[in-house]
Amino acid sequence: MFILGFHVIYNGLDTEYLLEQLIPGHLYSLRLSCSSIGGHSDPSDITQIKTPAVAPASCHPPKISGKAKANSLHLRWGKRIKFMYVL
């Protein structure tokens, strides 16, 4: 469900919730509203939380692809999703 720029991620009676599968280094905006048989409250003030950025695991070492030339090498390495490579 989508409400004015926010997604409903929990609806229930508990007073806590574990929000999982978050993106490292991403800023999240959260707010809370309450409801009863009498209706819905206004939403709370927005809380912004940034998850810590996490360094990736070590990359696979580069390997020579084909034959080395006198003035160049063609290198290949294993792909890791969503990472930029610096050689």
pLDDT tens for residues 39-63? Answer: 889 989 999 999 999 887 788 788 8
Instruction: Give how far Cα 69 sits from Cα of 61, 73, 77, 86, Å.
Output: 20, 6, 19, 22
What is the reported pLDDT for 2? Answer: 43
pLDDT in tens, 17-35: 999 999 899 999 999 988 8
For residue 66, CA distances in Å to 17, 20, 50, 56 come to: 53, 44, 45, 28
